[in-house]
Amino acid sequence: MPERKQLVAGNWKMNGARADGIALAREIAEWAKEPHACELLVCPPATLLVAVGEALGGEALTGGDVRLGGQDCHAAASGAFTGSISAEMLRDAGCSHVIVGHSERRHGCGESDADIRAKALAAWRAGLIAIVCVGETLVEREAQIALAVVAGQLAGSVPDGATADRLIIAYEPVWAIGTGLTPTKRDIAEMHKAIRGHIPAGTRILYGGSVNPKNAAGILALPEVDGALVGGASLKAEDFWAIARACT
């Protein structure tokens, strides 16, 4: 079974002008010179990918210490899709990873499991690692159907032929994203254990949703938690680094 080295990924979302992104990337690259037990990934807005890749030392694709990822991609390689970006374009911009199916795309942009599945396939076609996000809403958690909802999302959005070296799952309860709320450690552990039963052995499962320097160590120490997908706290290099340092 492949080793599941923890991964701390920063999802910058729609934040940052060029100067901000470059400054943040430089700070992270500086911190990353210190010893750390995890892999690091930053996912800036598409407009900043090339500049951030350069600020990270231009090694993102060649296995440099801080890798570069996109926040979404289109399923097609090219064509008449105004405003969209293909997985091939992300690869060309220096990315090694792409997030697909983030809840802000599922719920904010109406993306279905089938859409996300097609995007994951596109990621693989382009040679990228697909980070497939899943997670229940608060209504679903309260109705005690969270496990079933996530199982359904996995069945619908993880393509056949998945392997641990090109798939990462991010469990992000919708109600925990950007709210300061997190599930109990018991609920996180239960969900990660359940997810493990649906994916190839050795696939990493990240937790995402209000991870911060204070709660990171507790979450990252849970069994089956192979890292974190970090939104708000990834916009401050110091906080992002504190989370990375909490990895074991």
Residues that bind ligand PGA (CB under 6 A): 11, 172, 177-178, 208-211, 229-233
CB nearer to ligand PGA: give 21 or 232.
232
Check 102, 104, 111, 192 and give the catalytic one. 102
In the complex, what is the shortest distance from the CB of residue 231 to ligand PGA, in angstroms, rounded to a whole number? Answer: 2
d(CA 110, CA 93): 27
CB nearer to ligand PGA: give 48 or 177.
177
In the complex, what is the shortest distance from the CB of residue 210 to ligand PGA, in angstroms, rounded to a whole number? Answer: 4
d(CA 97, CA 10): 12
CB nearer to ligand PGA: give 35 or 108.
108
- Does the annotation mark 172 as catalytic? yes
d(CA 231, CA 225): 17
Secondary structure (3-state) at 139: helix
In the complex, what is the shortest distance from the CB of residue 244 to ligand PGA, in angstroms, rounded to a whole number? Answer: 14
Paired residues of 66 in beta bridges: 40
Query: What H or E segment, with its residue span, contains residue 89?
Result: helix 87-92
Which residue has the closest beta carbon to ligand PGA?
231
Secondary structure (3-state) at 121: helix
Check 104, 136, 140, 172 and give the catalytic one. 172
Please give the angle made by the CA atoms of 210, 212 and 213, to the nearest 5 degrees.
170
- Does the annotation mark 97 as catalytic? no
Secondary structure (3-state) at 39: strand
Task: Return the closest-CA partner of residue 130 out of 79, 88, 70.
Answer: 70
CB nearer to ligand PGA: give 92 or 238.
238
d(CA 222, CA 232): 22
Positive or negative CA dihedral for 239, 233, 116, 138?
Answer: positive
Paired residues of 114 in beta bridges: none
CB nearer to ligand PGA: give 12 or 88.
12
In the complex, what is the shortest distance from the CB of residue 234 to ligand PGA, in angstroms, rounded to a whole number? Answer: 7
- Annotated active-site positions, please? 102, 172
